[in-house]
Structure 1
Amino acid sequence: MIKGVVFDLDGTLANSIEDIADSMNIVLAEKGFPTHDYDTYKTFVGRGLKALVENALPDSVNDESILEACFNRMMIVYDENCITKTCLYPGIAELLTELQKRDIKIGIFSNKANELTQKVVNALLADWTLEMVIGAGGDIPRKPNPKGAILISTKMRIAPEEMMYVGDSGVDMQTAENSGMYAAGVLWGFRDMEELLENGARILVENPMDLLDSFN
């Protein structure tokens, strides 16, 4: 029986792709590099902002100092714009409300930098009780390392096998498997069904409220 849920943030609870893409495109344009469209950015996200910057830069750029400068600039620009267009996906508010009615505990584990994760969560998710919110940084390795997910499980006092990890990417499904949690893949996010299944999704859901079927 599932007693707690750990959610990914970007592409799962919040549609953040436009703010991420717009911010990175500002950085690229400032450097005179080509920009990318929103769909392309969906393939870049999931492993943290530094990896996104690496993916967004032209292949010809292999100078570590340029990468570092672009990453530092991206952190500044995105911090200023991370809640400009970002919003909860339709049905997420209703799902979280129903989970709380059922006394299902909720946590968030994101590969977004912790300070940015907290900023987005405080802006969009203040109406719900979240047991723990963890972003990347400090002594928490990025997913698919399970340390953050297990830390949330410990905080909730719920065994991992009684937890569900919900995300939109292969990295999320690997995180679920690595932490011993039930892997649920969402189809409204940034990645496709094939990636989720190949990486261990136990169930796939097309709409947020469909997730509740797993608790019956």
Structure 2
Amino acid sequence: MKFKAVLFDLDGTLVNSLIDIADSINKVLEERNFPTHSYEVVNNFIGSGLRNLVTKALPETHKDEASIESTFQAMMTTYRENCTNKTFAYDGIVELLDALKSKNIKLAILSNKADELTKKIGLTLFSDYFDIVLGLKSEATKKPNPLAAIEISNEFGVSPEEFLYVGDSGIDMQTAKNANMHAVGVLWGYRPKEELVAEGAQSIISHPLELIELL
């Protein structure tokens, strides 16, 4: 089948945002005199949105809803101001996007990161590539719920079966499967190959330009 569109996850797929995320959550935790976390630990918190990350980062004694909400709001403020400080595109991503655009492939981003932050990062780093950049607007539509992916498919006028869905996590593979898109797991992101395979990856790539072969 000829694929006509590619839907990308953001964090761990297009960009390495770990340092900005970790620095922001640790700053918020320090301000509250809570223990901070290493980059390796924060890496394991990423993938299900910032509220979920905050919940995991808080000490067990402060996981009540009020603490989560106040810390989440502080995280949003801090991360909004710092989300592009040290975040960068992975090697080969810009070359991949150039190649896809030259083939008139439709491109979109779908992230569990808040919509305003997804747009800020996506449009700052990749201003001329994506037709749609969409982040989380409602907890009810968080990936692996396929609703947003299907909406992107409808807006493009391209059937889900003609999409490559590219992500670095099991959640992404589940989303692709739920949306009936071809699930492509990447090995340069935040999650191991074993997770991607277990959650339904149909293809695995270790460098961005390998995606071209799937077209």
Which interval holds the TM-score relative to the shorter structure?
over 0.9
Unaligned runs of 5+ in 2: none
Return the letter of the residue paired with 1:19. D
Aligned to 2:168: 168
Unaligned runs of 5+ in 1: none
Aligned to 1:185: 185
Return the letter of the residue paired with 2:10. L
Q: Which string of whole-angstrom CA distances, capped at 9 and with x for unpartnered residues, describes residues 170-210 of structure 1?
A: 00000000000000000000110011001000011100001
Alpha-carbon distance in structure 1 between the residues aligned to 2:58 and 2:21: 14
Aligned to 1:141: 141
Post-superposition offset of 1:139: 8.5
Aligned to 2:159: 159
Q: Which string of whole-angstrom CA distances, capped at 9 and with x for unpartnered residues, describes residues 91-130 of structure 1?
A: 00000000011111101100000000111011100132x2
Return the letter of the residue paired with 2:59. P
Runs of 4+ more than 4 Å apart = none
Aligned to 2:25: 24
* Residue-pair matches, total: 214
SS state at 1:60 partner: helix
Alpha-carbon distance in structure 2 between the residues aligned to 1:62 and 1:202: 37
Alpha-carbon distance in structure 2 between the residues aligned to 1:83 and 1:62: 28
Structure 2 CA distance for partners of 1:84 and 1:5, relative to 1, 3 Å: same
Return the letter of the residue paired with 2:90. Y
Aligned to 1:64: 65
Q: Which string of whole-angstrom CA distances, capped at 9 and with x for unpartnered residues, describes residues 115-155 of structure 1?
A: 00111011100132x22111001597110000111111111
SS state at 2:44 partner: helix
Q: Which string of whole-angstrom CA distances, capped at 9 and with x for unpartnered residues, describes residues 26-80 of structure 1?
A: 0111111111111111110100000000011112223221111100000000000
Normalised by the length of structure 1, the TM-score is 0.97
